[in-house]
Amino acid sequence: MVPEMTDCVSNNPLSAQDSVLLENQVCFPLYSASNAVIRTYRPLLDKLDLTYSQYLVMMVLWESDGVSVKDVGARLYLDSGTLTPLLKRLEGKGLVERGRSEQDERVRVLKLTEAGVLLKTQALTVPAEMKCKIKLDLDELLLLKKLCEKVISTLEK
């Protein structure tokens, strides 16, 4: 057993047996909350004919149109295996054009269509509707955000 692991184990106040009780997991609530949030977004995003992942990609493009697949992936922590088919669906809906960079032929340059730009208008009410459903104080929301970001920055290294 590596030293760091031993340290971690020794700091764990739970017995080994109790450690695999669902009740004592932190990651399970995180996973369930994420699932629950995506489920809750669904009826809101159905009006825009977007899935949650597609909505995330659209947010990136509304913010910085003309970026590459890699850029979107870096922003959303998703790889081309996830993004390529997703972007093809957005292209199929007429929201995005998947062009090529002139400097580097390998790079896909993602450009919003007029419909893609216009969809932002319909999306503006979504965050407020979601905030309404989730019923957490602003303090709690910001704290949750900060803790999740800390988890991400630790694990993404």
Q: Which of residues 25-84 bind a second copy (CB under 8 A)?
A: 25-41, 52, 56, 59-60, 62-63, 75-77
- In angstroms, give the least distance from the CB of 80 to DNA: 4
Q: Which does 113 bind (CB under 5 to 8 A by kind): a second copy, DNA, none?
A: none
Query: Which CB, 59 or 107, lies closer to a second copy?
Result: 59
Say if CB 87 and CB 69 are below 8 A apart.
Answer: yes
Contact residues toward DNA (CB under 7 A) are 31, 35-36, 38-39, 42, 51-54, 68-70, 73, 77-87, 89, 98, 101, 103-108
- Residue numbers 109-128 binding a second copy by CB under 8 A: 120, 123-128
Tell me if residue 93 falls in helix, strand or coil.
coil
DSSP per position, 18-81? HHT-GGG-SHHHHHHHHHHHHHHHHHHHHTTT--HHHHHHHHHHHHSTT-BHHHHHHHHT--HH
